[in-house]
Chain A
């Protein structure tokens, strides 16, 4: 199993600024992911955080807007850049635990409000 923590848990930011969200896993994991979830909606995958290389982004998400770092097997950051009110959402980090059951472990999320 894996326990995931995120910082900050919530934040209120002004338009045009950037926020970096940290994700810490209590054990080494092969894969980490970042999701976005609007209140009352399902989760949307933003990107796969690759250790030692550039993240793999899903359609509709770009590196300039959501730069991601993963310096080691237990830590990743997501930056939401040049924020607008449309970026207000919950951002979740997850990690994939390997076999025999490949389950994702999720962090508690970061609730971001952009004013």
Chain B
């Protein structure tokens, strides 16, 4: 299985930009990179998905270098409500393969006032 590695935790302050990097050295040609956010007592929520270069939506940006062995989730101007656990998943876009459904340990982001 393609293994992902993320920092266990990160701290930030309100208004700062936060970048969370995920390492996925064994990414396959057909794999996409998907990030989820999970608040306490809730199920994970989709944030963003990408294949290469840069993807941006209303909540985040995803940067993927040419070799695709890592990716960086960028959260602009975080607020206290961004305190959550962030998961990086790598797998086929159809999501039916085991890799696409395998959650790593995630990164616990704590935003302080």
Contacts and interface: CB of A to CB of B under 8 A. Distances in A.
A107 B44 CA distance: 8
Contacts of A35: 103
B interface, by DSSP: helix, strand, loop or mixed? loop
Contact of B44 (A44, A45, A48, A106): A106
Contacts of A102: 32, 49, 93-95, 100
17 contacts: A4-B43, A31-B95, A33-B101, A42-B87, A42-B104, A42-B105, A42-B106, A43-B44, A43-B87, A45-B98, A102-B32, A102-B49, A102-B93, A102-B94, A105-B46, A106-B43, A108-B43
B49 A45 contact: no
Contacts of A45: 98, 101-103
Given A101-B49, A102-B95, A104-B44, 9 more contacts: A4-B43, A92-B43, A96-B95, A103-B34, A103-B46, A103-B49, A104-B101, A106-B45, A108-B42
Interface string A33-66: 1010000001111001000000000100000000
Interface of B: 32, 34, 36, 41-46, 49, 87, 93-96, 98, 100-106
A67 B52 CA distance: 39
Contacts of B41: 108-109
Contacts of B106: 42
A24 interface: no
Contacts of A103: 34, 46, 49, 95
A interface, by DSSP: helix, strand, loop or mixed? strand
B43 A94 contact: yes
Contacts of B43: 4, 92, 94, 106-109
A29 to B, nearest CB: 11
